């Protein structure tokens, strides 16, 4: 099972001097050919923290995660993971980290117990039976221990992958889109599990595209085109963008959205169910436009800018910057 491709149990993290960060990297850079896919990334994850890693497809999340745990050598930058140098001490890091890859795999024709036992065996874990029993118990898998992995639903497969990551009692979990394609109930259970682990002092770096999951993280980072655009608590990330948002209720929101696009003060319009969210930086210009264009036929309400509004805004700004950069480079 590649989900836990990490060697067996190891003693705790190196005694500190690192301000308690389990991940502390700066200027992390990776190039493929002449394309910079991670660009001077700086990130700090605290002990016992659930840290969400967000960004559009291809923004560099997986590449960053692999550099942070010593699986991929950066072209530039430095840092520590669990107090160990990511460039020189990757073997130490690997022994203490549980990594669930984006496309984790397991053996369909082995049972849950056999899959876990196989992982434990591959890495020569001492007291294999105890470790497997503990993982089964902890993840609530014991009742299905004999079931073939191939016959499990998506949510149970996810749980099996998490159990495999936890077998060697890592202090840090790196989870790369662990709940992609899993139903809401199973995702909620998975997150309850993550919070229990965090409460025990296990740190979690988790990449996701789901907004409800982002809101469950203690801290967040958002990257686009390899560049970190924001980092902090959800509240801090929202506040950092200094955006003003109005909700517009009424008829024909799609036509209204077309009308508003490009008007003074309007930087973004997004339909959320029966409301149109209109966002911008220039408070006065935005309000004036809305009163002029939407005033009579629609109900206007100033609302708090949501995390999703902010992410959409950062993503489209990053797109614009890339395009401007490319045109300037021609
Ligand atoms: N081995 C490689 N060789 C060449 N390019 C690569 C390689 N690995 C990744 N890339 C490129 O680097 C960029 C970042 O990829 P990465 O997989 O880190 O993004 P991501 O944020 O994890 O995306 P997703 O949300 O789709 O998983 C992409 O443009 C990708 O095509
Ligand atoms: Mg990825």
CA of 247 relative to ligand 1 center, distance in Å = 36
| DSSP 8-state secondary structure symbol assigned to residue 3 | G
**pLDDT tens across 132-148, in order?**
999 999 999 999 999 99
Instruction: Classify residue 248 as exposed, middle or buried by CB count within 10 Å of its CB (0-12, 13-18, 19+).
Output: buried
Tell me if 313 sits within 8 A of 272, measured CB to CB: no
11, pLDDT greater than 50: no
**pLDDT tens across 69-100, in order?**
999 999 999 999 999 999 999 999 998 999 99
Strand 219-224, strand 275-280: pairing: unpaired
Secondary element (H or E) of residue 277: strand 275-280
Reduced to 3 states, what is the DSSP secondary structure of residue 63? helix
Ligand 1 atom with least separation from CA of 64: 18
pTM (predicted TM-score):
0.90
Q: Which ligand is the nearest neighbour of the Cα of 33?
A: 1
Sign of CA dihedral 63, 196, 149, 151: negative
- Give residues (CB < 6 A) around ligand 1: 32, 37, 55, 57-63, 102
Ligand 1 atom with least separation from CA of 66: 18
Distance CA(173)–CA(187), nearest Å, equals 17
| DSSP 8-state secondary structure symbol assigned to residue 8 | -
The superfamily CATH assigns to domain 18-108+165-232 is: P-loop containing nucleotide triphosphate hydrolases (3.40.50.300)
| DSSP 8-state secondary structure symbol assigned to residue 146 | T
Whether 18-108+165-232 and 238-328 share one fold: the answer is no
**pLDDT tens across 241-265, in order?**
999 999 999 989 999 999 999 999 9
* Beta-bridge mates of residue 45: 23
Distance CA(16)–CA(293), nearest Å, equals 58
Sequence-distant (≥ 6) Cβ neighbours of residue 11 within 8 angstroms:
none
Ligand 1 atom with least separation from CA of 226: 14
CA of 193 relative to ligand 1 center, distance in Å = 28
Region 264-277 average pLDDT: 94
The structural domains of the chain, with segments of one domain joined by +, span 18-108+165-232, 238-328
- Which range, of 99-113, 141-155, 287-301, 314-328, averages the lowest pLDDT? 314-328
Distance CA(51)–CA(231), nearest Å, equals 10
Instruction: Classify residue 29 as exposed, middle or buried by CB count within 10 Å of its CB (0-12, 13-18, 19+).
Output: middle
Region 255-276 average pLDDT: 94
**pLDDT value of position 9:** 41
pLDDT band at 55 (very low <50, low <70, confident <90, very high): very high
Beta strands in 146-217 (DSSP E): 172-176, 203-207
Query: Percentage of the chain surpassing pLDDT 70?
Result: 93
CA of 209 relative to ligand 1 center, distance in Å = 15
Ligand 1 atom with least separation from CA of 65: 18
**pLDDT value of position 1:** 45
Strand 97-100, strand 244-249: pairing: unpaired
Mutate to test the pocket of ligand 1, among 54, 61, 228 (most ligand atoms within 8 A of CB): 61
CATH topology of domain 238-328: Alpha-Beta Plaits (3.30.70)
Ligand 1 atom 27 nearest Cα: 57
């Amino acid at each position: 099972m590649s989900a836990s491709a990490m060697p067996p149990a190891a003693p705790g993290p190196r005694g500190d001097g690192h301000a308690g960060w389990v991940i502390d990297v700066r200027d992390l850079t990776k190039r493929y050919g002449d394309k910079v896919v991670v660009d001077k990334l700086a990130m700090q994850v605290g002990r016992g923290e659930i840290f969400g890693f967000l960004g559009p497809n291809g923004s560099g999340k997986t590449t960053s995660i692999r550099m942070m745990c010593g699986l991929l050598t950066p072209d530039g930058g430095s840092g520590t993971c669990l107090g160990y140098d990511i460039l020189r001490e990757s073997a130490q890091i690997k022994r203490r980290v549980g990594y669930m890859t984006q496309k984790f795999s397991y053996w369909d024709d082995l049972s849950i117990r056999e899959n876990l036992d196989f992982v434990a065996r591959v890495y020569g874990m001492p007291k294999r039976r105890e470790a497997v029993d503990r993982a089964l118990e902890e993840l609530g898998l014991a009742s299905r221990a004999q079931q073939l992995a191939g016959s499990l639903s998506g949510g149970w497969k996810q749980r099996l992958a998490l159990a495999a990551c936890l077998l060697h009692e890592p202090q840090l979990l790196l989870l790369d889109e662990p709940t992609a394609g899993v139903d809401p109930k199973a995702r909620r259970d998975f997150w309850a599990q993550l919070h229990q682990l965090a409460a025990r002092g296990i740190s979690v770096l988790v990449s996701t595209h789901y907004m409800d999951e982002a809101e469950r993280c203690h801290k967040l980072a958002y990257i686009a085109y390899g560049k970190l655009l924001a980092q902090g608590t959800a509240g801090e990330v929202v506040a950092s963008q200094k955006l003003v948002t109005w909700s517009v209720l009424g008829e024909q929101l799609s036509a209204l959205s077309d009308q508003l696009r490009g008007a003074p003060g309007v930087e973004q319009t997004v339909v959320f169910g029966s409301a149109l969210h209109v966002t911008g930086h220039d408070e006065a210009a935005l309000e004036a436009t809305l009163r002029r264009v939407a005033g009579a036929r629609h109900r206007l309400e100033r609302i708090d800018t949501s995390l999703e509004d902010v992410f959409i805004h950062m993503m489209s700004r990053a797109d614009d910057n890339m395009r401007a950069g490319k045109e300037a480079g021609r």
